[in-house]
Amino acid sequence: MSNPVTILRAAGLRKNYPSGDRTLAVLQGVDFSVSAGETVSVRGESGSGKSTLLNILAGLDRSEAGELWWGAEAAHQLSLAELTARRGRYLGMVFQSYYLIPELDAYANILMAARLVGRVGPAEKARVTQLLERVGLGERGHHLPSQLSGGERQRVAVARALLNRPAVILADEPTGNLDEATGDGIIELLVSACAEAQAALVLVTHNVAHAKKTQRQLHLQGGRFA
């Protein structure tokens, strides 16, 4: 049996933030990795650095020390422009606040992921339609975000994250703005959709029940994994 392939890896991540006359050490030498198709959750108290870690893994923020690898590529050595160019092809992201474009309907919001990497054609458009069906919004593709419920908006965001067939989905508190039942449905959708797409999932959450839906659970405390 072959060993699982590591598709996202970080080593020795350190991140500090100024706070008045003090410096907050948010991450203190964090090591992290996820294998192809694996699901991992990261829990921790508010301010423990969960979102900071996810932003660094996504190349949206820089660590002060440490290494970041997207597959075989040393992401910590890339410029911000290079990170931006590669991110959309390798990673998909789901946020608490959806970040949908208000003027675009659900279909166009999902297709935006392909536009950002310069890859819009019949195959991508057909995949948008397929993903709308997959997330239960087959009849809602021409609705604006303002015409959708919170759960429906997050389903659009999940479909957008999956569009480019990324190796890994990074989800930062994706149920934070949703009621419990709707949030449970979003987690079930994320886990199952990632499994179908053979994409890994890194889920940042404060919800213990949601964390238990993943294969591996980590807890961030004091700037390190406890």
- Whether residue 86 lies inside any domain: the answer is yes
Mean pLDDT score, 107-126: 95
Return mean pLDDT, the chain.
94
Backbone angles phi, psi at 61, to 5 degrees: -140, 155
CATH number of the domain that residue 146 is part of: 3.40.50.300
Q: How far apart, in whole angstroms, are the C-alpha atoms of residue 11 and residue 5?
A: 17
Identify the domain containing residue 150 by its residue range.
6-225
Asked whether residue 126 carries a pLDDT value surpassing 70, the answer given is yes
Domain presence at residue 45:
yes
On whether residue 72 sits in a domain, the answer given is yes
Q: What's the pLDDT score for residue 131?
A: 97
Q: What is the pLDDT of residues 173-204, one digit of tens each?
A: 999 999 999 999 999 999 999 999 999 999 99
Q: Torsion angle of alpha carbons 13, 18, 21, 22, nearest 10°?
A: -30
pLDDT tier for residue 2 given thresholds of 50, 70 and 90: low
Number of domains comprising the chain? 1
* pLDDT bucket at 91, cuts 50 / 70 / 90: very high
Mapped onto helix, strand or coil, the DSSP state of residue 1 is coil
| 1 within a domain of the structure (yes/no) | no
Give per-residue pLDDT as tens, 42-87: 999 888 899 999 999 999 999 999 999 999 999 999 998 899 889 9
